[in-house]
Structure 1
Amino acid sequence: MHMTESNHHQQRVAARTRARDARRSGTPVVVLDQPVDAADRTARCRSRVRRAVSTDSFTLYAQPIVDLRLNQVTRHEILLRVRNDIGEPTAPWAFPDMAERVGEILAVDKWVIDHALALIGRGAQTSHYQINVSGKSLADPGLLDFVNEAIRRHRVKPECLTFEITETALIENRNEALAFATGIRQTGCHLALDDFGTGYGALTHVKYLPVDLVKIDGMFVVNLCHSPADQAVVSKLTELCHTLGIHVAAEYVQDEGTLELLRSWDVDFAQGYRTGRPEPIAVTPKHQVQTIEFELRLPPQYTAMG
C-alpha cells in the first residue's frame, strides 16, 4: 500500500511539473478528471502514427560508417527522425516503439524504405546504404514484394543495399525473418544482424541465416577501453564471425582508443560519434534534394592518415 501511494505521489509531482513547464512555454494544458483508459490511449497513438505517415512528418538522416582498413567512409546507415509540431526533428526512439506497440510500425517501415530508395536512386550509388526493418514488419508476407517493387521503381542497385534486422526480431519471428533474409539475398541485397551479442541465440542465428554483416551491440563497445570483459566479448565475436566469412561492425564508437582496439582485432567497420554524427539527407518529397552522396569524404580525424 505504501509503494502504491508513493508511486501515485511521484506521478502527481511529475504531472504538476510538466503542466508548469507547458504553461511557461505557452503550450495549451488540458486537465482530465480521470486517466485515459488503455483503449483510448491505443486509438490515439494509432491515429498519431497514421497522421505522421500520411503527412510525411518524417525526415531521414544518414550516419557514416567507416571502413577501418581503408580509413574511409564507405557506408551510411539510414535513420528515421520524427518532426514535432514546429517542424523540428525529435529523438528517434519513442515514436518507433509506440508504433510497434500499437501495431502500426509496418507503415512507418514502408515509408522509410520507399523514401530512402527514392533518394538513393537519385544519386550515383557508389556508396552502400543500410536500412533497418522492424521485427514486427517481418511478419508481413508482403514486405519482401514491397521492397523488390521499390528497388525496381527507383532504379536502385540491390548490391548497394543492406537491410538490418535485430536479434529480437529473430527470436520473435524466426520463420518470417528467414524467409525475408533468403528473399532479400536472392534480390542481390545484403543482410545485417543488428544488436549482435545481446540475445541468447546469437551464435545460432549466424549459423542458419545468410548474414553478410553483424553489428556488435553498443553495450559492448561504449566502455570498451575500460572493460576487459567487453574486450573479450568483442574480440572473440569478431574472430568467430570472420571464421564464418561474416563482416563485423562496432556501434557506439566514441573515442580514438576504442578505434585502436577495434583495429587491433581486425573489426571491419566502425560507427559512432567519433567517426561521424547523423546528418539530415532529406525532409519530405516537398523538399527535393539532388543526391545523398556523402561517401569518400573523410572525417577530420582521418585526413592525416594513410
Structure 2
Amino acid sequence: MPASSKTAASFADQLVKKHRQQLSNPYLCPLDFEGMRILLISDYSTDMEFIETILASVGLTHCLEYCDSPHAMTRLREGTVDERCDIDVIMAYEDSSTLEPADLYRRLLGKPEWRGIPVISVMDANTHAPDNTTVDGSGNITDVFLKPFRPAEVLPRLINALRLKHERDAHRLYADHREAELVRHRDMESRLRYLVDHDDITGLFNRRYLEQALERAITTTQATGCHSALMYFDLDQFKIINAAEGHLAGDSLIRSVAKQLKSDARPEDTLTRISCDDFALLIEDTDQQTAIDKANQMRCSLAQLKVSLHNQTYDISASIGVTMIEPDSTASPSHYLAQADQACFIAKNHGRNTVHLFCADEPEVKRINHDASWIPRIRDALDNDGFTLLFQPVYDIARDRVERYEALVRMRAEDGSLAEPEPFIAVAERMGLIHDIDQWVVAEAIRALGSLDPDQDHICLNINLSGHAFEDPSLPDTIRQLLSDTHVDARRITFEITETAAIANFEHTRNMILQIRKLGCRFALDDFGSGFNSYTYLKNLPVDCLKLDGSFVQNAVSDPVDQVLIRSMVEIAQTLGKRTVAEFVENKETLELLRSLGVDYAQGYYIGRPSTELAPK
C-alpha cells in the first residue's frame, strides 16, 4: 500500500474509534459501520478500488457497492423493502451521462424511504468550481468530493455521511414511534369516550347514559304534557345459569338477550344494560296501556328465546317493572329508576316472568320503602355499636332457682330507647344483613358469659339464632374461636332456633347442629308446637330442649285444651330425653300449673324482665 494510503488508513482508524464513542448515545442505536452500505454511481469503475482500499484498511469490507448511472434507480427500487432502503450513502459523479447528483436528489425526494439518504457529489476539481454546488446538511447534496481524492479526507467524510444517515434513521424511527403512540392514545381516548356511555359486553347504553336520557325525558314530558315510560328488566334465574356454565357463557347469554331486546325496541327508544342481568328501556311519548302492552310483548319475545350453552339449551324469562313519567312530576331520574326497580322486585315475588306496574299506594311498595328506611339504621348500628343485649332469667322449676338466662338483642333508637327485634330482624333477613347481626349476637353473648366472676361459672346462657344463621358456613368456626378466646365451657351455651327455620332445610340444619354440638354446645327448639310437622321432625333433630310455643302457655290456666297439649308435649320430650321450657309465664298460677305438668323451666315477666346485666348478684 502506498505511504499516502497507510497514512490515510491510520488516520481513518482513529476517526472510526472517535465516531464510535460519539455515537454511544442512549437515544440512538449504536452505529454499525459494517452493516451500512455505500452506493457509488458512476459510469467509470476506476475509483471504486481506491475507496474500497480505504474502507478495508479499517475493517469496513463489503461496504461499497458499484452501479452505473442507467441502473441506479433500479438498484434503489430493488433494495427497498417495507419502506426501508438498504443503501445508506450515495456517491454520484457530476459527469454522469444519464443521472447527475442534482437530478438524483430530486428523484430521491419523491420517495419517503429515500429522502434520508445523504448524497455526495463527486466532481473533477479541474473542470468544476465548488462554489457552483449547493451543500445543505438538512436534505440537499450533503458533501462534495473533488478529484483527485485526498486519501486523508475520504474516510472521515464518508463516516460523517454514514453518521448523518444513521441520525436521520433514528429521527425517522422516533417520529414513527411517536406517531404510533399518538394513534394508540387517540384510539384509547376514543374507546374510553365510548365506554363512558356504553356497556362493554353488549354495546348498549349504560346506566350513566340512561340517567342523562331520563333527565331529558322528564324535561320534555313537563314541557309537552306527554307521558313517558321506564321499564326495568331482571332476567329470571340468570345467576344459576352463570354459576353453572361460567361467566363467559353468561356473557354470551347476556348478548343474546340484548340482541332480542334491541330488535323489539324502536330505534328512538333508549335501551340500556344497567347491571349484571338488569336492563332498562325508556319509551317517550306513550301512554300507560301502550307501555304495559309493549312490556308484555317483550316478555313473550324473551320467553321464546332459546340459548344454547355447552350443549345445553336454556329458556329465558324476565320479570319486568314499569313506571310512568308524569308531566306534573318533579321526581329525579334516580327516583324513577327506583320505582321501576321496585315494580320489577314485586313482579319477581309474584312468580317471575310477569309485568308489574308501579303504584305508590300498594302494600308491597310500602313494605319495600319501610325496609329501605331500616337498612341505614341497621348498618349504622353494626358499625357504631348500636346493638345491645338484654338478659332474661330462665327459672329451673324443680330446683327452684335461676342459673340460666336468655340473651335478647335490641337496637338503640336515636332517643335512647330500645327497639324490639321483630321489625329490624325481619328487614335484616330480607336484605341480607342478618348474618352480621347473628355474628354480633353470638360474639357479644359469649364474651358476656366469659366476663362473669369465677364463682358464677355455673351460669348458663341461651343464645337466639336467626332463621338464616345456618346459611353462614363460617358460624361453627366463629363459635370455636370465641370459645377458645374467652375460655368459656361450651356446655354453658344453648343455641335457640325456631321450629320453622329448623324444618325449612332439615338436612342442612341437622348437619350444622351436629357440627356445633361437637364443640360441646347444646340446642333448643324454639316455638315448638307452632307448626303442623312438629312431631314429624322431632325424632331426628339433635336438640336438647323444647321451648313450648307461648300460645299454649298464655291461657293454659283457663284452657283445658292447652293443658292437654302441654302435657302431651312434655311426655314426648321426656320420652326422647329432652327438657322443656315454657315461655310467657306471667303469673304464679301459670307457674304452678307448669310445675304440675312436669315442665322443667319457666320464662316470662313473672320470673323476671330482661335486664342489661347478666346474672346480677
Structures share fold, TM-score greater than 0.5: yes
2:459 maps to 1:130: no
CA root-mean-square deviation: 1.8
Matched letter for residue 569 of structure 2: L
Q: What secondary structure, in the 3-state scheme, does the structure 1 residue paired with 2:564 have?
A: helix
How big is the shift at 1:86? 2.3
Cα–Cα, structure 1 residues 255 and 39, in superposed 2: closer, same or farther, change >3 Å? closer
The equivalent position to 2:615 in structure 1, one of 293, 303, 306, is: 293
Which runs of structure 2 are paired with 1:208-287 in the superposition (5 Å)?
208-281=540-613
In the alignment, the residues of structure 1 paired with residue 369 and residue 583 of structure 2 have an alpha-carbon distance, to the nearest angstrom, of 38
2:422 maps to 1:93: yes
How big is the shift at 1:154? 1.9
Cα–Cα, structure 1 residues 153 and 240, in superposed 2: closer, same or farther, change >3 Å? same
In the alignment, the residues of structure 2 paired with residue 127 and residue 48 of structure 1 have an alpha-carbon distance, to the nearest angstrom, of 33
After superposing on structure 2, the runs of 4+ consecutive aligned residues of structure 1 that deviate more than 4 Å are: 34-44
Cα–Cα, structure 1 residues 265 and 39, in superposed 2: closer, same or farther, change >3 Å? closer
Which runs of structure 2 are paired with 1:102-141 in the superposition (5 Å)?
102-123=431-452, 124=454, 125-141=457-473
2:464 maps to 1:142: no
- Greater radius of gyration (CA): 2
In the alignment, the residues of structure 1 paired with residue 424 and residue 368 of structure 2 have an alpha-carbon distance, to the nearest angstrom, of 18
Which runs of structure 2 are paired with 1:44-55 in the superposition (5 Å)?
44-55=373-384
Does the CA-based 8 Å contact 1:249-1:271 persist in structure 2?
yes
In the alignment, the residues of structure 2 paired with residue 132 and residue 38 of structure 1 have an alpha-carbon distance, to the nearest angstrom, of 25
Q: What secondary structure, in the 3-state scheme, does the structure 2 residue paired with 1:191 have?
A: strand
Matched letter for residue 207 of structure 1: K
Q: Name 1:61's counterpart in structure 2.
A: 390
Cα–Cα, structure 1 residues 260 and 57, in superposed 2: closer, same or farther, change >3 Å? same
Does the CA-based 8 Å contact 2:567-2:597 persist in structure 1?
yes
Does the CA-based 8 Å contact 2:371-2:427 persist in structure 1?
no
Matched letter for residue 427 of structure 2: M
In the alignment, the residues of structure 1 paired with residue 392 and residue 567 of structure 2 have an alpha-carbon distance, to the nearest angstrom, of 24
Q: What secondary structure, in the 3-state scheme, does the structure 2 residue paired with 1:224 have?
A: coil
Matched letter for residue 403 of structure 2: T
Cα–Cα, structure 1 residues 271 and 41, in superposed 2: closer, same or farther, change >3 Å? closer
2:497 maps to 1:165: yes
In the alignment, the residues of structure 1 paired with residue 611 and residue 448 of structure 2 have an alpha-carbon distance, to the nearest angstrom, of 14
In the alignment, the residues of structure 2 paired with residue 169 and residue 265 of structure 1 have an alpha-carbon distance, to the nearest angstrom, of 28
Q: What secondary structure, in the 3-state scheme, does the structure 2 residue paired with 1:134 have?
A: coil
In the alignment, the residues of structure 1 paired with residue 567 and residue 597 of structure 2 have an alpha-carbon distance, to the nearest angstrom, of 6
Does the CA-based 8 Å contact 1:135-1:173 persist in structure 2?
no
Matched letter for residue 497 of structure 2: I
Cα–Cα, structure 1 residues 38 and 247, in superposed 2: closer, same or farther, change >3 Å? closer
| 1:4-52 residue CA offsets vs partner (Å, 9 max, x unmatched) | xxxxxxxxxxxxxxxxxxxxxxxxxxxxxx6778766655433332221
2:407 maps to 1:78: yes
Matched letter for residue 175 of structure 1: E
In the alignment, the residues of structure 1 paired with residue 475 and residue 504 of structure 2 have an alpha-carbon distance, to the nearest angstrom, of 17
Q: Name 1:189's counterpart in structure 2.
A: 521
Q: Which has the higher contact order (CA 8 A, sep 6+)?
A: 1
Q: What secondary structure, in the 3-state scheme, does the structure 2 residue paired with 1:75 have?
A: strand
How big is the shift at 1:146? 1.3
Does the CA-based 8 Å contact 1:81-1:89 persist in structure 2?
yes
Does the CA-based 8 Å contact 1:45-1:102 persist in structure 2?
no
Does the CA-based 8 Å contact 1:138-1:173 persist in structure 2?
no
Matched letter for residue 567 of structure 2: S
Q: Name 2:153's counterpart in structure 1.
A: none
How big is the shift at 1:91? 2.3
Matched letter for residue 192 of structure 1: A
Cα–Cα, structure 1 residues 128 and 48, in superposed 2: closer, same or farther, change >3 Å? same
Q: What secondary structure, in the 3-state scheme, does the structure 1 residue paired with 2:539 have?
A: helix
Aligned length: 252
Does the CA-based 8 Å contact 1:64-1:76 persist in structure 2?
yes
In the alignment, the residues of structure 2 paired with residue 204 and residue 150 of structure 1 have an alpha-carbon distance, to the nearest angstrom, of 34
Matched letter for residue 408 of structure 2: L
Does the CA-based 8 Å contact 2:503-2:537 persist in structure 1?
no
In the alignment, the residues of structure 1 paired with residue 366 and residue 426 of structure 2 have an alpha-carbon distance, to the nearest angstrom, of 19
The equivalent position to 2:510 in structure 1, one of 171, 175, 178, is: 178
In the alignment, the residues of structure 1 paired with residue 406 and residue 537 of structure 2 have an alpha-carbon distance, to the nearest angstrom, of 22
Matched letter for residue 563 of structure 2: Q
In the alignment, the residues of structure 2 paired with residue 169 and residue 59 of structure 1 have an alpha-carbon distance, to the nearest angstrom, of 24
Q: What secondary structure, in the 3-state scheme, does the structure 1 residue paired with 2:612 have?
A: strand
Matched letter for residue 189 of structure 1: C
Q: What secondary structure, in the 3-state scheme, does the structure 2 residue paired with 1:195 have?
A: strand
How big is the shift at 1:265? 1.4
Q: What secondary structure, in the 3-state scheme, does the structure 2 residue paired with 1:279 have?
A: coil
How big is the shift at 1:205? 2.6
Identity across the alignment (%): 39
Which runs of structure 2 are paired with 1:10-49 in the superposition (5 Å)?
42-49=371-378
In the alignment, the residues of structure 1 paired with residue 406 and residue 530 of structure 2 have an alpha-carbon distance, to the nearest angstrom, of 20
